[in-house]
Amino acid sequence: MTAPRVVIIGAGFGGLSAAKALAGAPAEVVVIDRSNHHLFQPLLYQVATAGLAPTQIASPIRSILGPQANARVVLGEVTGVDVDSRTVSLADRSLVYDHLIIATGAAHSYFGHDGWAQVAPGLKSLDDALDMRRRILLAFERAEVEPDPAERERLLTFVIIGAGPTGVELAGAIAELARRALARDFRAIRRSMAKVELVEAGPRVLPSFPAPLSAYAHRTLTRLGVDVRLGKAVSGCDADGVTLSDERIAARTILWAAGVLASPAAAWTQAEADRAGRVVVTPRLTLQGHDEVFVIGDAAHIDTGGGPLPGLAPVAKQQGAYAAAAIRRRLVGAEPPPRFRYRNAGSLATIGRQAAVVTIGRLRLTGVLAWVLWSVTHIYFLIGFRNRIAVTLDWAWAYATFERGARLITGAGSATIRPQLPRLTAK
Protein backbone atom coordinates (compact mmCIF):
# COMPACT_ATOMS: atom_id res chain seq x y z
CA MET A 1 0.00 0.00 0.00
CA THR A 2 1.39 3.40 -0.94
CA ALA A 3 1.10 6.37 1.39
CA PRO A 4 -1.75 8.81 0.70
CA ARG A 5 -0.70 11.80 -1.32
CA VAL A 6 -1.12 15.45 -0.35
CA VAL A 7 -0.67 17.83 -3.28
CA ILE A 8 0.07 21.47 -2.49
CA ILE A 9 -0.16 23.95 -5.36
CA GLY A 10 1.97 27.01 -4.67
CA ALA A 11 5.02 27.48 -2.43
CA GLY A 12 4.25 30.94 -1.11
CA PHE A 13 3.75 31.60 2.59
CA GLY A 14 0.58 29.46 2.74
CA GLY A 15 1.73 26.44 0.76
CA LEU A 16 5.15 26.28 2.39
CA SER A 17 3.71 26.61 5.87
CA ALA A 18 1.36 23.68 5.10
CA ALA A 19 4.18 21.57 3.65
CA LYS A 20 6.41 22.10 6.68
CA ALA A 21 3.57 21.36 9.09
CA LEU A 22 3.16 17.99 7.34
CA ALA A 23 6.75 16.92 8.13
CA GLY A 24 6.72 13.41 9.51
CA ALA A 25 3.05 12.85 8.61
CA PRO A 26 2.26 9.44 7.09
CA ALA A 27 1.76 10.89 3.62
CA GLU A 28 3.66 11.81 0.47
CA VAL A 29 3.67 15.61 0.19
CA VAL A 30 4.08 16.98 -3.35
CA VAL A 31 4.64 20.73 -3.66
CA ILE A 32 4.10 22.17 -7.14
CA ASP A 33 5.24 25.67 -8.02
CA ARG A 34 5.92 27.37 -11.33
CA SER A 35 9.11 28.95 -10.03
CA ASN A 36 11.89 27.15 -8.18
CA HIS A 37 12.05 29.60 -5.28
CA HIS A 38 9.99 30.76 -2.36
CA LEU A 39 9.76 34.53 -2.32
CA PHE A 40 9.63 36.81 0.71
CA GLN A 41 7.12 39.12 -0.94
CA PRO A 42 7.00 41.84 1.76
CA LEU A 43 10.51 42.89 0.70
CA LEU A 44 9.99 42.61 -3.03
CA TYR A 45 9.73 46.40 -3.30
CA GLN A 46 13.34 46.58 -2.09
CA VAL A 47 14.50 44.50 -5.06
CA ALA A 48 12.46 46.75 -7.36
CA THR A 49 14.21 49.82 -5.94
CA ALA A 50 17.73 48.32 -5.96
CA GLY A 51 18.07 48.06 -2.20
CA LEU A 52 18.33 44.27 -2.06
CA ALA A 53 19.40 41.56 -4.48
CA PRO A 54 17.03 38.77 -5.56
CA THR A 55 19.02 36.10 -3.70
CA GLN A 56 18.49 37.99 -0.47
CA ILE A 57 14.73 37.56 -0.47
CA ALA A 58 14.36 34.23 -2.24
CA SER A 59 15.33 30.66 -1.36
CA PRO A 60 15.11 27.57 -3.54
CA ILE A 61 12.05 25.54 -2.50
CA ARG A 62 14.17 22.39 -2.75
CA SER A 63 16.64 23.74 -0.20
CA ILE A 64 13.85 24.58 2.22
CA LEU A 65 12.15 21.20 1.91
CA GLY A 66 15.30 19.18 1.16
CA PRO A 67 15.65 17.82 4.69
CA GLN A 68 11.94 16.86 4.88
CA ALA A 69 11.90 13.18 3.87
CA ASN A 70 8.22 12.95 2.90
CA ALA A 71 8.24 16.07 0.69
CA ARG A 72 8.79 16.21 -3.07
CA VAL A 73 9.09 19.40 -5.09
CA VAL A 74 7.87 19.70 -8.68
CA LEU A 75 8.65 22.69 -10.88
CA GLY A 76 5.68 23.11 -13.17
CA GLU A 77 2.66 25.14 -14.15
CA VAL A 78 -0.73 23.79 -13.11
CA THR A 79 -3.30 24.06 -15.90
CA GLY A 80 -6.35 22.67 -14.14
CA VAL A 81 -7.85 20.69 -11.25
CA ASP A 82 -10.57 18.05 -11.49
CA VAL A 83 -12.08 17.71 -8.03
CA ASP A 84 -14.25 14.74 -9.04
CA SER A 85 -11.42 12.53 -10.29
CA ARG A 86 -9.04 14.18 -7.76
CA THR A 87 -6.53 15.09 -10.42
CA VAL A 88 -4.18 18.07 -10.88
CA SER A 89 -3.19 18.71 -14.50
CA LEU A 90 0.19 20.06 -15.53
CA ALA A 91 1.37 20.90 -19.02
CA ASP A 92 1.82 17.31 -20.19
CA ARG A 93 1.05 15.07 -17.24
CA SER A 94 -1.42 14.79 -14.44
CA LEU A 95 -1.17 13.89 -10.79
CA VAL A 96 -3.76 12.15 -8.61
CA TYR A 97 -4.20 13.37 -5.02
CA ASP A 98 -5.93 12.23 -1.86
CA HIS A 99 -5.80 15.68 -0.25
CA LEU A 100 -5.29 18.98 -2.03
CA ILE A 101 -4.22 22.41 -0.80
CA ILE A 102 -4.63 25.23 -3.28
CA ALA A 103 -2.33 28.11 -2.28
CA THR A 104 -1.94 29.85 -5.60
CA GLY A 105 -2.05 33.47 -4.43
CA ALA A 106 -3.12 36.43 -6.50
CA ALA A 107 -2.02 38.44 -9.53
CA HIS A 108 -2.52 42.11 -10.48
CA SER A 109 -5.91 43.39 -11.48
CA TYR A 110 -6.12 46.26 -13.92
CA PHE A 111 -9.88 46.49 -13.45
CA GLY A 112 -10.59 45.29 -16.96
CA HIS A 113 -7.86 47.38 -18.63
CA ASP A 114 -5.39 44.59 -19.31
CA GLY A 115 -3.58 46.77 -21.85
CA TRP A 116 -2.26 48.90 -18.98
CA ALA A 117 -0.08 46.00 -17.81
CA GLN A 118 2.44 46.81 -20.56
CA VAL A 119 3.07 50.38 -19.40
CA ALA A 120 2.25 50.05 -15.70
CA PRO A 121 3.85 46.82 -14.42
CA GLY A 122 2.93 45.42 -11.03
CA LEU A 123 5.01 43.65 -8.41
CA LYS A 124 4.37 39.97 -7.67
CA SER A 125 7.40 37.96 -8.82
CA LEU A 126 11.18 38.37 -8.86
CA ASP A 127 10.98 38.92 -12.61
CA ASP A 128 8.44 41.72 -11.98
CA ALA A 129 10.81 43.32 -9.49
CA LEU A 130 13.80 43.09 -11.84
CA ASP A 131 11.69 44.59 -14.62
CA MET A 132 10.68 47.47 -12.34
CA ARG A 133 14.29 48.01 -11.27
CA ARG A 134 15.37 48.11 -14.92
CA ARG A 135 12.67 50.68 -15.77
CA ILE A 136 13.51 52.95 -12.84
CA LEU A 137 17.28 52.85 -13.39
CA LEU A 138 16.97 53.27 -17.16
CA ALA A 139 14.75 56.32 -16.69
CA PHE A 140 17.60 58.02 -14.81
CA GLU A 141 20.15 56.92 -17.42
CA ARG A 142 18.05 58.35 -20.22
CA ALA A 143 17.36 61.59 -18.36
CA GLU A 144 21.12 62.08 -17.89
CA VAL A 145 21.67 62.31 -21.66
CA GLU A 146 18.36 63.94 -22.67
CA PRO A 147 18.74 67.48 -24.06
CA ASP A 148 15.00 68.31 -24.22
CA PRO A 149 13.84 69.65 -20.82
CA ALA A 150 10.22 68.50 -21.27
CA GLU A 151 11.27 64.94 -22.09
CA ARG A 152 13.75 64.98 -19.22
CA GLU A 153 10.93 65.94 -16.87
CA ARG A 154 8.79 63.06 -18.14
CA LEU A 155 11.73 60.69 -17.64
CA LEU A 156 12.21 61.88 -14.06
CA THR A 157 8.54 61.60 -13.13
CA PHE A 158 7.55 58.35 -11.40
CA VAL A 159 3.87 57.63 -10.91
CA ILE A 160 2.79 54.96 -8.44
CA ILE A 161 -0.84 53.95 -8.63
CA GLY A 162 -2.35 52.73 -5.38
CA ALA A 163 -1.41 53.86 -1.85
CA GLY A 164 -1.68 50.59 0.05
CA PRO A 165 1.47 49.27 1.77
CA THR A 166 3.21 48.34 -1.51
CA GLY A 167 2.49 51.72 -3.13
CA VAL A 168 3.62 53.64 -0.05
CA GLU A 169 6.79 51.56 0.29
CA LEU A 170 7.63 51.98 -3.41
CA ALA A 171 7.01 55.74 -3.33
CA GLY A 172 9.18 56.20 -0.25
CA ALA A 173 12.00 54.06 -1.64
CA ILE A 174 12.01 55.76 -5.06
CA ALA A 175 12.01 59.21 -3.47
CA GLU A 176 15.04 58.25 -1.40
CA LEU A 177 16.74 56.60 -4.37
CA ALA A 178 16.23 59.75 -6.46
CA ARG A 179 17.14 62.29 -3.83
CA ARG A 180 20.10 60.58 -2.21
CA ALA A 181 21.81 57.67 -3.86
CA LEU A 182 21.33 58.65 -7.48
CA ALA A 183 21.68 62.40 -7.30
CA ARG A 184 25.38 62.21 -6.50
CA ASP A 185 26.31 59.85 -9.36
CA PHE A 186 24.79 61.87 -12.19
CA ARG A 187 26.13 65.04 -13.73
CA ALA A 188 23.21 66.50 -15.69
CA ILE A 189 20.32 65.78 -13.33
CA ARG A 190 19.82 67.56 -10.04
CA ARG A 191 17.99 65.83 -7.25
CA SER A 192 15.22 68.42 -7.27
CA MET A 193 14.28 67.38 -10.79
CA ALA A 194 12.86 63.99 -9.79
CA LYS A 195 9.14 63.84 -9.07
CA VAL A 196 7.37 60.95 -7.34
CA GLU A 197 3.57 60.98 -7.66
CA LEU A 198 1.51 58.64 -5.48
CA VAL A 199 -2.04 58.36 -6.84
CA GLU A 200 -4.87 56.86 -4.78
CA ALA A 201 -8.57 56.62 -5.62
CA GLY A 202 -9.62 56.46 -1.96
CA PRO A 203 -9.59 59.27 0.61
CA ARG A 204 -6.31 58.35 2.39
CA VAL A 205 -3.04 56.43 2.15
CA LEU A 206 -2.70 53.02 3.88
CA PRO A 207 -6.51 52.60 4.06
CA SER A 208 -6.20 49.35 6.05
CA PHE A 209 -4.52 51.21 8.95
CA PRO A 210 -6.17 53.49 11.55
CA ALA A 211 -6.71 57.08 10.35
CA PRO A 212 -4.00 58.70 12.55
CA LEU A 213 -1.38 56.34 11.13
CA SER A 214 -2.52 57.17 7.59
CA ALA A 215 -2.11 60.85 8.42
CA TYR A 216 1.41 60.21 9.77
CA ALA A 217 2.36 58.25 6.64
CA HIS A 218 0.99 61.05 4.46
CA ARG A 219 3.07 63.67 6.26
CA THR A 220 6.20 61.52 6.08
CA LEU A 221 5.77 60.92 2.35
CA THR A 222 5.31 64.64 1.76
CA ARG A 223 8.46 65.37 3.72
CA LEU A 224 10.34 62.89 1.51
CA GLY A 225 9.14 64.88 -1.50
CA VAL A 226 6.39 62.52 -2.65
CA ASP A 227 3.37 64.25 -4.14
CA VAL A 228 0.36 62.41 -2.68
CA ARG A 229 -2.84 62.70 -4.75
CA LEU A 230 -5.93 61.32 -3.03
CA GLY A 231 -9.42 60.74 -4.46
CA LYS A 232 -8.01 60.41 -7.98
CA ALA A 233 -9.20 57.50 -10.07
CA VAL A 234 -7.06 56.48 -13.03
CA SER A 235 -8.91 56.55 -16.32
CA GLY A 236 -5.99 55.91 -18.65
CA CYS A 237 -2.37 54.68 -18.76
CA ASP A 238 -0.07 54.85 -21.76
CA ALA A 239 3.62 55.17 -22.59
CA ASP A 240 3.48 58.96 -22.13
CA GLY A 241 1.73 59.16 -18.80
CA VAL A 242 -1.39 58.71 -16.70
CA THR A 243 -4.82 60.27 -17.11
CA LEU A 244 -6.70 60.95 -13.89
CA SER A 245 -10.35 62.02 -13.71
CA ASP A 246 -9.50 65.72 -14.03
CA GLU A 247 -5.87 65.93 -15.08
CA ARG A 248 -2.95 64.36 -16.88
CA ILE A 249 0.51 63.47 -15.50
CA ALA A 250 3.22 63.19 -18.15
CA ALA A 251 5.54 60.37 -17.07
CA ARG A 252 7.67 57.63 -18.58
CA THR A 253 7.58 55.33 -15.55
CA ILE A 254 4.28 54.11 -14.12
CA LEU A 255 4.14 51.44 -11.43
CA TRP A 256 0.99 49.56 -10.51
CA ALA A 257 0.22 48.86 -6.87
CA ALA A 258 -3.56 49.03 -6.98
CA GLY A 259 -5.73 45.93 -7.51
CA VAL A 260 -5.20 42.24 -7.02
CA LEU A 261 -7.00 39.40 -8.71
CA ALA A 262 -6.96 35.89 -7.27
CA SER A 263 -5.47 32.99 -9.20
CA PRO A 264 -7.69 30.82 -11.42
CA ALA A 265 -8.46 28.50 -8.48
CA ALA A 266 -12.16 29.32 -8.64
CA ALA A 267 -12.30 28.58 -12.34
CA TRP A 268 -10.43 25.28 -11.87
CA THR A 269 -12.75 24.10 -9.11
CA GLN A 270 -15.92 25.76 -10.43
CA ALA A 271 -16.46 27.14 -6.95
CA GLU A 272 -18.19 30.33 -5.90
CA ALA A 273 -15.86 33.35 -6.06
CA ASP A 274 -15.97 36.90 -4.71
CA ARG A 275 -15.41 40.02 -6.82
CA ALA A 276 -11.63 39.69 -6.57
CA GLY A 277 -11.83 36.12 -7.86
CA ARG A 278 -11.14 34.48 -4.49
CA VAL A 279 -12.78 31.12 -3.74
CA VAL A 280 -15.42 31.43 -1.02
CA VAL A 281 -14.45 28.63 1.37
CA THR A 282 -16.17 26.95 4.33
CA PRO A 283 -15.24 27.92 7.91
CA ARG A 284 -12.79 24.99 7.73
CA LEU A 285 -11.13 26.46 4.61
CA THR A 286 -12.41 23.66 2.39
CA LEU A 287 -14.25 23.72 -0.87
CA GLN A 288 -18.02 23.38 -0.43
CA GLY A 289 -18.79 19.63 -0.68
CA HIS A 290 -15.10 18.62 -0.86
CA ASP A 291 -13.59 18.12 2.57
CA GLU A 292 -10.36 16.96 0.94
CA VAL A 293 -9.76 20.25 -0.91
CA PHE A 294 -8.43 23.29 0.97
CA VAL A 295 -8.05 26.77 -0.46
CA ILE A 296 -5.85 29.14 1.55
CA GLY A 297 -4.10 32.53 1.48
CA ASP A 298 -4.77 35.13 -1.20
CA ALA A 299 -6.67 32.56 -3.27
CA ALA A 300 -9.36 32.18 -0.57
CA HIS A 301 -12.18 34.38 0.69
CA ILE A 302 -13.18 33.79 4.29
CA ASP A 303 -15.00 36.10 6.65
CA THR A 304 -14.37 35.27 10.30
CA GLY A 305 -16.34 38.35 11.37
CA GLY A 306 -15.23 41.86 10.44
CA GLY A 307 -15.01 41.44 6.68
CA PRO A 308 -12.91 39.08 4.56
CA LEU A 309 -9.40 38.40 5.85
CA PRO A 310 -6.73 40.55 4.16
CA GLY A 311 -4.10 39.23 1.73
CA LEU A 312 -1.24 39.15 4.23
CA ALA A 313 1.56 36.68 4.92
CA PRO A 314 0.41 35.90 8.50
CA VAL A 315 -3.09 34.98 7.26
CA ALA A 316 -1.66 32.62 4.64
CA LYS A 317 0.79 31.04 7.11
CA GLN A 318 -1.86 30.40 9.75
CA GLN A 319 -4.19 28.95 7.14
CA GLY A 320 -1.43 26.70 5.81
CA ALA A 321 -0.75 25.35 9.30
CA TYR A 322 -4.50 24.88 9.85
CA ALA A 323 -4.98 22.94 6.60
CA ALA A 324 -1.99 20.72 7.47
CA ALA A 325 -3.44 20.00 10.92
CA ALA A 326 -6.83 19.18 9.39
CA ILE A 327 -5.20 16.78 6.91
CA ARG A 328 -3.23 15.09 9.71
CA ARG A 329 -6.57 14.40 11.43
CA ARG A 330 -8.05 13.05 8.22
CA LEU A 331 -5.05 10.75 7.77
CA VAL A 332 -5.78 9.02 11.08
CA GLY A 333 -9.57 9.13 10.67
CA ALA A 334 -10.12 11.69 13.45
CA GLU A 335 -12.81 14.38 13.57
CA PRO A 336 -12.13 17.62 11.69
CA PRO A 337 -10.68 20.47 13.78
CA PRO A 338 -12.81 23.42 14.96
CA ARG A 339 -13.28 26.21 12.44
CA PHE A 340 -10.31 28.39 11.41
CA ARG A 341 -9.66 31.46 13.56
CA TYR A 342 -7.19 34.19 12.63
CA ARG A 343 -4.91 35.48 15.36
CA ASN A 344 -4.09 39.03 14.34
CA ALA A 345 -0.55 39.77 15.48
CA GLY A 346 -0.60 43.30 14.02
CA SER A 347 0.33 45.09 10.82
CA LEU A 348 3.37 47.03 9.72
CA ALA A 349 4.29 49.26 6.81
CA THR A 350 7.39 51.32 6.21
CA ILE A 351 7.66 54.68 4.48
CA GLY A 352 11.37 55.30 4.29
CA ARG A 353 14.46 55.70 6.48
CA GLN A 354 13.43 55.74 10.11
CA ALA A 355 9.71 55.91 9.38
CA ALA A 356 7.05 53.22 9.66
CA VAL A 357 3.59 52.58 11.10
CA VAL A 358 2.74 49.62 13.30
CA THR A 359 -0.44 48.37 14.95
CA ILE A 360 -0.34 45.55 17.50
CA GLY A 361 -3.71 45.05 19.18
CA ARG A 362 -4.53 48.49 20.54
CA LEU A 363 -0.95 49.70 20.37
CA ARG A 364 -0.15 52.12 17.56
CA LEU A 365 3.39 53.17 16.79
CA THR A 366 4.98 55.59 14.34
CA GLY A 367 8.47 56.98 13.73
CA VAL A 368 11.87 55.50 14.50
CA LEU A 369 10.66 52.92 17.01
CA ALA A 370 8.09 51.61 14.53
CA TRP A 371 10.79 51.48 11.88
CA VAL A 372 13.13 49.46 14.12
CA LEU A 373 10.27 47.06 14.88
CA TRP A 374 9.51 46.78 11.17
CA SER A 375 13.15 46.03 10.37
CA VAL A 376 13.58 43.46 13.11
CA THR A 377 10.33 41.70 12.20
CA HIS A 378 11.14 41.48 8.52
CA ILE A 379 14.64 40.18 9.06
CA TYR A 380 13.36 37.68 11.61
CA PHE A 381 10.80 36.21 9.25
CA LEU A 382 13.11 35.99 6.26
CA ILE A 383 13.59 32.32 5.56
CA GLY A 384 17.06 31.04 6.19
CA PHE A 385 19.71 32.14 8.61
CA ARG A 386 22.05 33.05 5.78
CA ASN A 387 19.66 35.52 4.19
CA ARG A 388 19.15 37.18 7.54
CA ILE A 389 22.84 37.94 7.89
CA ALA A 390 23.14 39.17 4.31
CA VAL A 391 20.09 41.42 4.52
CA THR A 392 21.12 42.85 7.87
CA LEU A 393 24.55 43.70 6.53
CA ASP A 394 23.10 45.19 3.39
CA TRP A 395 20.69 47.37 5.27
CA ALA A 396 23.33 48.51 7.71
CA TRP A 397 25.57 49.40 4.79
CA ALA A 398 22.83 51.18 2.85
CA TYR A 399 21.80 53.07 5.95
CA ALA A 400 25.31 54.24 6.67
CA THR A 401 26.21 55.23 3.12
CA PHE A 402 22.89 55.95 1.37
CA GLU A 403 24.17 53.57 -1.30
CA ARG A 404 22.11 51.14 -3.30
CA GLY A 405 24.14 48.04 -3.94
CA ALA A 406 21.79 46.25 -6.30
CA ARG A 407 21.70 48.93 -8.98
CA LEU A 408 22.26 46.55 -11.89
CA ILE A 409 20.42 46.74 -15.16
CA THR A 410 20.15 43.19 -16.50
CA GLY A 411 17.79 41.09 -18.57
CA ALA A 412 16.50 40.85 -22.07
CA GLY A 413 14.11 43.73 -21.48
CA SER A 414 16.93 46.24 -21.32
CA ALA A 415 17.94 45.47 -24.88
CA THR A 416 14.56 46.47 -26.26
CA ILE A 417 14.82 49.87 -24.63
CA ARG A 418 18.48 50.37 -25.48
CA PRO A 419 18.24 51.65 -29.08
CA GLN A 420 16.30 54.74 -28.00
CA LEU A 421 18.86 55.55 -25.39
CA PRO A 422 21.84 57.75 -25.85
CA ARG A 423 21.21 61.26 -27.00
CA LEU A 424 24.44 63.04 -26.41
CA THR A 425 24.87 66.65 -27.26
CA ALA A 426 27.82 66.86 -29.58
CA LYS A 427 30.71 68.76 -28.10
Q: Should residue 34 be labelled a site residue for a copy of itself when binding is judged by CB under 8 A? A: yes
C-alpha triplet 145, 150, 155: angle, nearest 5°? 55
Stretch that binds a copy of itself, among 263-271, 316-324, 331-339, 399-407 (CB under 8 A): 399-407
Pick the closer one to a copy of itself by CB: 207 or 411.
411
Write down the least CB distance from residue 3 to a copy of itself, Å: 10
Write down the least CB distance from residue 147 to a copy of itself, Å: 9
Write down the least CB distance from residue 270 to a copy of itself, Å: 23
The CA distance from 108 to 347, in Å, is 22
Q: Give the count of beta carbons closer than 10 Å to the beta carbon of residue 107.
A: 18
The CA distance from 353 to 372, in Å, is 10
End-to-end CA distance of the chain: 80
C-alpha triplet 196, 351, 137: angle, nearest 5°? 45
What length does the chain have? 427
247 is an active site residue: no
SS3 state of residue 372:
helix
Quick check: 291 and 336 in contact, CB under 8 A?
A: yes
* Beta strands per DSSP E along 327-368: 347-352, 355-360, 363-366
Quick check: 118 and 312 in contact, CB under 8 A?
A: no
Q: Should residue 127 be labelled a site residue for a copy of itself when binding is judged by CB under 8 A? A: yes
Pick the closer one to a copy of itself by CB: 32 or 242.
32
Binding mask 4-23 for a copy of itself (x = CB under 8 A): -x------------------
Write down the least CB distance from residue 298 to a copy of itself, Å: 21
Select from 211, 368, 369, 408 the one that contacts a copy of itself (CB under 8 A).
Answer: 408
Select from 81, 137, 205, 358 the one that contacts a copy of itself (CB under 8 A).
Answer: 137
* Helix or strand run (H / E) with residue 60: strand 58-60
Q: Which amino acid is at 35?
A: S
List residues bridging with 82 in a β-sheet. Answer: 87
Q: Should residue 141 be labelled a site residue for a copy of itself when binding is judged by CB under 8 A? A: yes
Selected catalytic residue, list 169, 197, 200, 292: 169
Stretch that binds a copy of itself, among 108-116, 180-188, 190-198, 267-275 (CB under 8 A): 180-188
Question: Where along the sequence are the contacts to a copy of itself (CB under 8 A)?
Answer: 2, 5, 32, 34-37, 53-56, 58, 60, 62-63, 65-66, 72-77, 90-96, 126-127, 130, 137-138, 141, 144-145, 184-187, 386-387, 389-390, 393-394, 397, 403, 405-414, 418-427
